[in-house]
Chains A and B, each alone.
Chain A
Amino acid sequence: KNQVEQSPQSLIILEGKNCTLQCNYTVSPFSNLRWYKQDTGRGPVSLTIMTFSENTKSNGRYTATLDADTKQSSLHITASQLSDSASYICVVITYGNNRLAFGKGNQVVVIP
């Protein structure tokens, strides 16, 4: 069973609208959580990094939230643009080692 589950698997939204992507994890002990954006045919690029004590982190129109008690995170995209079309990958890092648990990604398509 995957330790990081993301939903929805894919999403189509109109340009200018908002959307929220979900990430639930079972990884323990928790160190930090990242959201990466991966454009088609490219490597992932980090959007946000959150540690146990952080509840929210913003990067421009991207806002990530973390509830370490319920082991849930979300990524909110505000006023979506065509360039937001990408896969968004949730990654959870276990405390004490350098291993990452990857979600399978949320595929977002923004249409005009």
Chain B
Amino acid sequence: DVKVTQSSRYLVKRTGEKVFLECVQDMDHENMFWYRQDPGLGLRLIYFSYDVKMKEKGDIPEGYSVSREKKERFSLILESASTNQTSMYLCASNDRPGLVLNEQFFGPGTRLTVL
């Protein structure tokens, strides 16, 4: 079974803090993704990565950065957390396009609250 794990289920931070959200997958997947999910808005793509040290902006990258130093690990960084970044953050991974039907496997999510 594919396993995508996220470092924290719940996180509370203060405005201005630097926040790291970690995601690890154990299926040797090429692609990894970070989404945020807000009520009434659905899932929105923040950043994704096709390979180690590669990153691409998604639909809402402002205020975020990412790091992919190892294939299995993809980190989301909030350089200076703000209250409007309070959200559920979901990590996902899948194999390179063309090899499979691109199903993305999601982690359990991190509920981040910024005070």
Can you name the residue of chain A whose Cβ is closest to the Cβ of B108? A43
B97 within 8 A of A: yes
- By secondary structure, the B interface counts as strand
Is A102 on the interface with B (CB-CB < 8 A)? yes
Residue of A nearest to B96 (CB): A98
A: contact size bracket: 20 to 34
B48 at the interface (CB under 8 A from A): yes
Question: Which B residues contact A (CB, under 8 angstroms)?
Answer: 4, 9, 31, 40-45, 48, 50, 90, 92, 94, 97, 101-109, 111
Q: Is the CB of B42 within 8 A of A32?
A: no
A44:B106 contact, CB within 8 angstroms:
yes
Interface string of A65-93 (1 = CB under 8 A from B): 00000000000000000000000010001
Check B103 against A46 for contact (C-beta < 8 Å).
yes
Q: Determine if A98 and B103 form an interchain contact, defined as CB atoms under 8 angstroms apart.
A: no
Is A97 on the interface with B (CB-CB < 8 A)? Answer: yes
Q: Which of A44, A45, A103 has most chain B Cβ within 10 Å?
A: A44
**Interface membership of A99, Cβ < 8 A:** yes
Are B101 and A51 interface neighbours, CB within 8 A?
yes
- Cβ of A63 < 8 Å from any Cβ of B? no
Task: List, in ascending order, chain A residues with CB within 8 A of B31's CB.
Answer: 98
Given A98-B31, A98-B48, A104-B41, residue A43 in contact with residue B4 (CB < 8 A): yes
Contact check, B97 vs A98: say whether CB atoms are below 8 A apart.
Answer: yes
Q: What residues of B have a CB within 8 angstroms of the CB of A102 in the complex?
A: 42-44
With A42-B108, A43-B109, A49-B103 given, is the CB distance from A104 to B42 under 8 Å?
Answer: yes
Would you call A22 an interface residue if the criterion is a C-beta within 8 Å of the partner chain's C-beta atoms? Answer: no
Q: In whole angstroms, what is the CA distance A13 to B94 when docked?
A: 34
Q: Which residues of A contact B104 (CB under 8 A)?
A: 100
